[in-house]
Copies of this chain bind each other. A is one copy, B any other.
Amino acid sequence: MKVLVVHAHPEPQSFSSALKNVAVDAFHEVGHEVEVSDLYAMGFNPVASTADFSRRANPDYCVYALEQRNGVATGTISADIQQELGKLMQCDLLVLNFPLFWFSTPAILKGWIDRVLVSGTAYGGTRFYDRGGLRGKRALVSVTLGGQKHMFGSDGIHGPLESMLKHLLQGTLAYTGLDVLSPFVAWHVPYVKHDDRVAMLKAWRQRIASLEDDAPLSFPSLNDFDQQLYPLKSGT
């Protein structure tokens, strides 16, 4: 299996970075190939713009998704996007490893999503959710946060973490057809003791060793909707 770990933390000594290092090691241990895109270390540019296309389909008006299609088709999309897209298409498992910034990804990782999940390849037209361009691959989010577990869940002040991450788990990863596994969550990271951190790293390593058995989360299926995306039966 080939694994792509996309990692985004501004501090190389962070616990999030330790999770990244453990992941690489643990995937190697079970015999997988691992590629890492360490976005801060790469100085990755997160801004989707006209500068991403050396030859424009429409030089007068930029529809970013259409330019992505043209850029990939003609090989004129910027080299950094082409490189990341190559890694993505090669992988069997995509791991996004990051600290929760405002209940979402840091901007540098959001920009990787904006720029690399190109229209026409990752999705397009009615090729999304279970007909998405990345179906057959899996995705796993690994996130660190300051909050505690009891602050999430149906009685928690923030509600379930999965609902805060719906834009990412459903709207991004499942949207492209990826089988999305249950996120690995490291709670309360800045405040816990050394032993708790060691235990979380161990849990992460064990999770990786048993990933093959993981059942993906459930998301909408295009089979339940008509061609105009109206529901086929009420109550779905």
Residues of A within 8 A of B (CB): 10-11, 13, 40, 46-50, 61-64, 101-108, 110-111, 113-114, 117, 129, 148, 150-151, 155-159, 163-168, 170-172, 175, 190, 220, 222, 224-225, 228-231, 234-236
Contact yes or no, A229 B164, CB < 8 A: no
Neighbour of A40 across the interface among B49, B105, B172, CB < 8 A: B49
Whole-angstrom CA separation of A170 from B102 in the bound complex: 10
**A102 partner residues in chain B, CB cutoff 8 A:** 110, 113-114, 117, 167-168, 171-172, 175
Residues of B within 8 A of A46 (CB): 46-47, 107-108, 111
* Complex CA–CA separation, A155 to B220 (angstroms): 11
A104-B167, A106-B114 as given contacts; A48 in contact with B10, CB under 8 Å = yes
Known A166-B164, A229-B151: A171·B104 in contact at CB below 8 Å: yes
Residues from chain B with a CB closer than 8 A to the CB of A63 are 11, 190
- Which residues in B have their C-beta under 8 angstroms from that of A159? 166, 170
A157 near B129: Cβ-Cβ < 8 Å: yes
- CA gap between A111 and B236 in the complex, in Å: 36
Q: Which chain B residues lie closer than 8 Å to A40 at the CB level?
A: 47, 49
Bound: A62/B11 CA distance, A: 6
- The 18 sampled A-B contact pairs (Cβ below 8 Å) are A10-B50, A10-B64, A11-B63, A11-B64, A102-B114, A102-B117, A102-B168, A102-B172, A104-B167, A104-B168, A107-B108, A107-B110, A107-B111, A107-B113, A107-B114, A110-B110, A163-B166, A166-B166
Known: A164-B167, A171-B103. A150 touches B229 (CB 8 A): yes
Judging by beta carbons under 8 Å apart, are A150 and B230 in contact? yes
Query: Are B166's CB and A171's CB within 8 A?
Result: no
Contacts of A61 in B (CB 8 A): 11, 13
Of A47, A108, A171, A228, chain B has the most CB atoms within 10 Å of the CB of: A47
A157 touches B225 (CB 8 A): yes
